[in-house]
Structure 1
Amino acid sequence: MDDNYPSPELLEKYLSGRCSPDEARLVERWYDSFENRPDLAQEHPQTQDSAYSRKILQQIRQRIEDAESRPVRPLGLGRNWFWALGGVAAALLLLTLGIWQFQRVETAGKPALGNPKITERTLENTTKTILRRELTDGSVVWLSPATKLRFPERFAPAQRIVQLEGEAFFEVRRDTSRPFVIQAGKLKTEVLGTTFNVRAYRNSVRFEVSVVTGKVAVSVANRQPVLLTARQQAVFNPKAESLAKMKLPRFTKPKPWEPATIAFEWASLRQVADALEETFGVRIQFRNPALQNCKLRADFTNMRLPVILNLLCKTTDSSYTLDGQEIELDGLGCP
């Protein structure tokens, strides 16, 4: 068995909160391998262009025709056969490298963030679930539905700039030499390393930046930035270009991106859903009523709602969709 694949016993320990930090990291790396595996269209978007495919095919055909037009000498059975085959192998290698080089030049694509030497990448969540993605600097972003994030293939030495449209929760890897900057329209959020949520959908009358841990600087244009700490929020009105700072009420239900602790001992999925509704203020429905009968034992200590939902779905072989505060679970269910 693959050493990186956690055993059923280790998964059971993880869900019950009994594993060591090293074991927990093993499980989380395995989980990340599913969430961060890019498909061909995401890794090489040019392959979706029919003109690009025709160009590659034409290049290959031309090289084949050039090779076929050359005279072929019979190979003797002496010592020269080794060098002749070596020449054929070298030609094939050059052909492969030529195609790779052509593809690499095509992949350079359009310039990112004003720098013509940097390739830009785009993450877009067109699903109805919250997607977890890891950026090239090790930071983690949770993309809500209908959210788009643009960032360079390689961050600049002085700062890490991304552009956001929609809502996302960020877990920024600390780097004091390179601030992390989120540009959402006219709203700019700058951090060194912290966890926070940014809500900035296009045409929205209210943008929000909410801090869970650490410190965040929020600003508009060249105005004095607003400094936020844990459980503080900045609200921006795009039309009036006004920016206000407020403190989140102390005794309110945690937001989906805030951590909470819930434990279950062979509880039905209906009981789990009730507890999540009470904790996070959401509403959970079951598309297949039989799914409510599934039982599980788990310890969700200091976890956010998206993490809990993903673990629940993997444990019960189900899926979920999100629409605002409405969550719908679907799966085969249990008798």
Structure 2
Amino acid sequence: MRLDRLQEEWNELPHQGIFSEEIKLRMWNNILNATVNRRKNNYRIAMAACAALFISITGYQFYTSLNSARTPEIITQTFTEDIRLLRLSDGTRVWVNENTQIEYPKDFASNERIVKLKGEAFFEVARDTKRPFIISSGNIKTTVLGTSFDVKAYGEIAEVNVRTGKVKVEGLQNTIFLERGYTAVFVPKDKTLKKQKSVILEPEWKKALLDVDGLTFEAVIERLKINHNFTLQYTSENLKLLQVKGTLDTRQGVPEILQTIAFALEITIKPIGNDTYVVSR
């Protein structure tokens, strides 16, 4: 395969918002070494191998333990235009905004669940009355049993915005209890927390990632149609029942999103005009 065509194929893969430019460059160089420079016969296998190798190396670099008696800590760092969805060991889901670092144990303790945050993340905490979920983020500490909320902690800026449930937010000088529709804002001048009405319940950046793990193909399409206008035609009704795993990046256009799904399900989705696509094996 010609080098320019190989480059085109690589650029068309759905890796937007997953890797930084530096990482993608390193992966591309590995692909060249495994294909053009060594004349391997299947560049797609090389791409998958490079990605898997990089993920393994990254996991090693950011998977640490201070000693054998403690549960290993996992550190996730995002970059510019890099938003991720994490699933913690207790079932909690965390949408991590760009330029954010979050640290959490591989397995939580028997009496509490503690994470550390620098940046911004939206939490949907799995309910557990015996183990409070505690987020340490700069000047504030947030404690919940099970709810959904956004935490922002960039330097002196710190705030918590609650979408569902109740949250306790502790600052350097005072403590505030929040319910749906309220925000706690840290005031650097006097080191206190101030309670106020929320402007929005859910940050816009979170909508970039759509959690479709465990949904049927048909259910995923219905969710996409809420914000996009398109039609699918199926060559077999059984295709609707295929199960999707993972997360979709909705910052892509409909064609790119559909090709991401097609790649994952090993099916074909072809456009036939007028925002209509045909789905087949």
Note if 1:191 corresponds to 2:144. Answer: yes
Q: Look up the match of 1:285.
A: none
- Are the equivalent residues in 2 in contact too, given 1:172–1:195 (CA < 8 A)? yes
TM-score normalised by structure 2 residue count: 0.54
Q: Which has the higher helix share?
A: 1
Q: Look up the match of 1:178.
A: 131
Q: Look up the match of 1:228.
A: 178
Do the aligned partners of residues 181 and 316 (structure 1) sit closer, same or farther apart at CA in structure 2, a change above 3 Å counting?
Answer: same
TM-score normalised by structure 1 residue count: 0.46
User: What is the SS of the residue equivalent to 1:43?
Assistant: helix
Question: What amino acid sits opposite 2:187 in the alignment?
Answer: N
Q: Look up the match of 2:197.
A: 247
Question: What amino acid sits opposite 2:160 in the alignment?
Answer: V
Q: Look up the match of 1:313.
A: 252
- Are the equivalent residues in 2 in contact too, given 1:125–1:145 (CA < 8 A)? yes
Output the aligned Cα RMSD: 3.6
Q: Which runs of 5+ in 2 are unaligned?
A: 1-51, 208-223, 233-245, 258-272, 275-281
Shift of 1:316: 2.1
Shift of 1:239: 4.9
Note if 1:42 corresponds to 2:50. Answer: no
1:256 to 199, 204, 223: 204
Question: What amino acid sits opposite 1:247 in the alignment?
Answer: K
Q: Which runs of 5+ in 1 are unaligned?
A: 1-36, 47-106, 260-271, 277-293, 299-306, 319-333
Shift of 1:257: 6.4
Question: What amino acid sits opposite 1:313 in the alignment?
Answer: Q
- Are the equivalent residues in 1 in contact too, given 2:85–2:247 (CA < 8 A)? no
- Are the equivalent residues in 1 in contact too, given 2:162–2:201 (CA < 8 A)? no
- Are the equivalent residues in 1 in contact too, given 2:75–2:103 (CA < 8 A)? yes
Give me the whole-angstrom Cα distance separating, in 2, the residues matched to 1:45 and 1:196: 29
Identity of aligned residues (%): 34
- Are the equivalent residues in 2 in contact too, given 1:165–1:184 (CA < 8 A)? yes
Note if 1:138 corresponds to 2:72. Answer: no
Equivalence map 1:104-123=2 (5 Å): 109-110=65-66, 117-123=70-76
User: What is the SS of the residue equivalent to 1:313?
Assistant: coil
Equivalence map 1:251-290=2 (5 Å): 255-256=203-204
Give me the whole-angstrom Cα distance separating, in 1, the residues matched to 2:130 and 2:197: 29
Shift of 1:297: 4.9
- Are the equivalent residues in 1 in contact too, given 2:77–2:99 (CA < 8 A)? yes
Q: Look up the match of 1:167.
A: 120
Give me the whole-angstrom Cα distance separating, in 1, the residues matched to 2:57 and 2:130: 33
